[in-house]
Each structure stands twice: as C-alpha cells, then as structure tokens.
Chains A and B, each alone.
Chain A
C-alpha cells in the first residue's frame, strides 16, 4: 500500500439501500478490516470529506440530498457506489420508487457491484482513489477523462 500518500476521509450515505452494504461499509472501518489504519476516517460532515461512499438505488426523496451532499464536498472528490443497487438498481430496479443507480444523480468514479459487498472489495475500492492519484501523477481523474484538480 505504498502508493498511499494521503489520508482521505469518507462520508457515507444510505440512498435507499437495504442496510446490507451500509453495515459492510462500517465494518470496513472496524478492527477486522480496519481501514482507519490508512488514516481513512468516517466523517459526518461533507465539507471534511474526500470520498463519498453511497449505497442503494436512490429514491425520489433522496435525490436532492445526494446532490446537495455531493455539491458541499470540496474538490477533488471521488464517488464510490457500493453494491449492485447503487450501480444499477439491482433487485429493486423494478420498484416504482427507485431511480436505479447513483449515476442517475451524480457522476460515479468507482463501482463495487455485488449484492452483498464483502468488505475486502469495498476496501480496495475505497483505496482506489489513491491508485488514481498515483497513476495520474497527483491528478484525480474521473471516468471520461475529465480532470477535476491538479
């Protein structure tokens, strides 16, 4: 993990998920997987956060909240969609109240598609932004090649 040079903080939001992914995101931070050893801290404040971890397929009521939280985060920022519901709506895609994926609302950088993400891939995904950062020479690159910040 020598490519980690910074300690980004995460903010987590449950966008209409079944909780399964949420507790696995939290489990990443607790002693067994211990993401905190890389200096990654769960913060409740979007203004302190670098990585936005979002679960669930987003419903109508959540849309403005997700957008608002995203906009409050300072650049550079990374959005991680955890779980298949956050990726595409998953089993809930046919539900009347589900928009079907985080990318319907805000741009997503990393997807972790799994119905019950194991903490290990989530952990990799959370540390992925550093891979990005290294590869692009301290630049944060997003899908589509748009460079957010130097």
Chain B
C-alpha cells in the first residue's frame, strides 16, 4: 500500500473543465480513494434577487441560472408562478414551449457529448458534435432571436409565436439532421477509441446506488432507473410521443458512457408531432389569484437536468428565494461515489459523464 496523498484537481482553472469546480482527490499510488468536491466559484446568489425584482422580470433572471438549459429554467419559473396564480396557459403556447425545450435539450446533449469526447481526447468527435449543435442553434436563433439565452418565455405564455411555415421548415431541417445524429451516436457506441477509453465499466453505478444516492436524469437512467420527468406529460409532453426510459445497453459498454448515449437521436423524435400540432394563437389569460402561502415542488427537465423549484407566496412582499435544485447539485454525491476506486487518469472522463453544469448547481 502506498502513501496517501491529496491531489487538487481543477484548482479551479483546469483544461478539461470549461467551468470551475475543485476536487480534492485522495490518492493511493494512482488510485483514487476518495474525492471531496468544493464548489462556490460560480455562486452568484441570484435567488436573492427575487426580493428586488418583479416576478415578471425575474423570469429573465431565472433564465440566467444557466446559459445552456436556460429556456427550461424560465419555463420552470413561469410554471411555478402560473401554478400559484392559477393561470391557464393556452395550448399553442404550451406546444411552442415544448418545442423550444426539446431544442434546448438537443443542443445541450450535443454540447455535452462534445465535451465528453474532448475529455477523452477525441478532438475530432468534439468538433463534429459541436458542428451538429450549430444546426440546432440556427433554428433556435431563427425562432427566438437568441442562441443560448432565449428570453422568449413569460408568465402565462410565450413572447413570440412560430409561424406555421417556419414550423414546416423546422421539421424538414430535423429530418436532415437526424441521420447525422445517428451517425454521431454510432461513433460513440462502436468506435474503438471510445470503447477502449471506457473499458472495464469505468465509473459504473448500480441501480440501487443510483437510487439511494439521489441520482437524477441521465445519470440515473444510465444506471437503469426508469425515470424521465417528461413522461409526466407537463407542458405539452402529454400530447407528444416522448420516448422515455433508460437507454438500451450499447455495444457491451457497461461503463459510464451509456448515460449520454442514444439520446441525441431520441430527442429529435417528439418534435415532429409537436411541430404539426395545431393550436390557436398564444394569448394570456387572467387567472384567479390565490392568497396565502403556497409551496410547490415542481419537477422539470432542463435539457439534461431537472429543476426543483420551490416557491412561496404570490405578492412581491411574500416572494421568497426559491431554492433551485438542479441535477448537477443532486448528481455530485453519485459522482463522488463513482470517482472512488478509479485511476487518476480516468477522473476527467468520469467527471464529464454526469454532465457537470456548475453554473446551474451553484446559482
């Protein structure tokens, strides 16, 4: 047995991570015995802004919790307010929100797949994933005006409509992208380089561990837990064919990589039904306000994450900071578990498999 030493990983500027997180790795020779995460480098304290901003303005602050899954954050916040105030959102707005959420999901997945490829040193695959991501962002920009921060959701509906002609174009575009996504997925599942890098079940989490440690989203699905919050049918997911459940085992890869896999192409499916769904123009309806304290816990899926927002009160004076619970925060304990027992050289790859979004986690 060698001596135990502590190696700081990402102090916090680190080449492999675009965002700052610090891990203290306790090593025994090359093997990680324990990992202690330190966060706080991106903590802005934006929940506290609830006290200063009007709830309609706060939609845009909520959107800036994270610039990757931004649209879902604004939808979640709006859902919370709508729930409290009893506002009904018109169906067309629901469907358009869902379309944008799915677009966010796709661009986020591609971003993640790219970064995961970058972590294992597969530069070409990284570039390819990000090239595909630009195709998704083009439609996003055309319909909302923003590439990563859309600013098109508001309490009671949406701020922009998508014309029927544009919806048709989007469907055609998706049909073109789909084979490209499938090709990219094939490389992730079958390429020799990737398989070799993820050999020996690197960073595997059993189903029981994932459940017990509170893993959510893809991290849990990769371990075999069947949970996908989209299947509850919120927004317009109820009216679409969403393929949920955990991804099927891919090419004998038992490691951590199946988590992000198989989802790029799956994501592109529900949109086709969304796009063709008819509904009337979005409008804002006045709901009946309810007084008194209301607490609600909403489960929403941001591209790869789910957001737990807890809200209180309706009047500005009663507006309290919503503790935003994003999946990265919840997935940190499973990550700590996964890191124990692997080699130092594998740490970057395993860290990237939970799709760490520190901006989300620290708010």
Query: Is there direct touching of A and B in the complex, by C-beta distance under 8 Å?
Result: yes
Number of B residues, CB within 8 Å of A = 44
Q: How many Å from the CB of B58 to the closest CB on chain A?
A: 10
| Residue from A22, A23, A56, A61 whose CB has the most chain B CB atoms within 10 Å | A23
Q: Does A59 contact B (CB under 8 A)?
A: yes
Chain A: CB-nearest residue to B138: A32
Complex: chain B residue closest to A44, CB-CB: B15
The answer to whether A128 has its CB under 8 Å from any CB of chain B is no
Query: Interface majority SS on B: helix, strand, loop or mixed?
Result: loop
B44/A61 in contact, CB under 8 A: no
Check if A26 sits within 8 Å of B43, measured CB to CB. no
- How many inter-chain contacts with C-beta < 8 Å in the A-B complex? 123
Q: Which residues of B contact A65 (CB under 8 A)?
A: 11-13, 20, 41
Q: A20-B148, A65-B20, A96-B45 are in contact. Are A31 and B130 (CB under 8 A)?
A: yes
Q: Does B171 contact A (CB under 8 A)?
A: no
Judge whether A17 and B45 touch: CB under 8 Å: no
Is B7 an interface position by the 8 A CB rule? no
Asked if A45 CB lies within 8 Å of chain B CBs, one says yes
Measured CB to CB, the closest approach of chain B to A20, in angstroms, equals 2
A102 to chain B, nearest CB (A): 14
Q: Which of B1-50 contact A (CB under 8 A)?
A: 11-16, 18-20, 40-46, 48-49
- Beta-carbon nearest neighbor of A115 in chain B: B149
Q: Is A116 an interface residue (CB 8 A)?
A: yes
Task: Give the size range of A's interface with the partner.
Answer: 35 or more
Whether B67 and A91, one on each chain, are in contact in the complex, defined by CB atoms closer than 8 angstroms, is: no
Residue B289, interface by CB 8 Å: no
Assembly CA distance A12 to B46 (angstroms):
23
Q: Which A residue sits closest to B65, measured CB to CB?
A: A18
Shortest distance in angstroms between B116's beta carbon and chain A's nearest beta carbon?
14
* Contact of B49 (CB < 8 Å), options: A21, A56, A94: A94
A109 at interface, CB cutoff 8 A: no
Q: Which of A32-73 contact B (CB under 8 A)?
A: 32, 43-46, 56-57, 59, 61-62, 65, 69
Knowing A44-B14, A95-B49, the reply to whether A19 touches B357 (Cβ < 8 A) is: yes
Ranked nearest first, the 6 interchain pairs of A and B with the lowest CB-CB distance are A44-B15, A20-B67, A30-B130, A19-B67, A116-B149, A19-B359
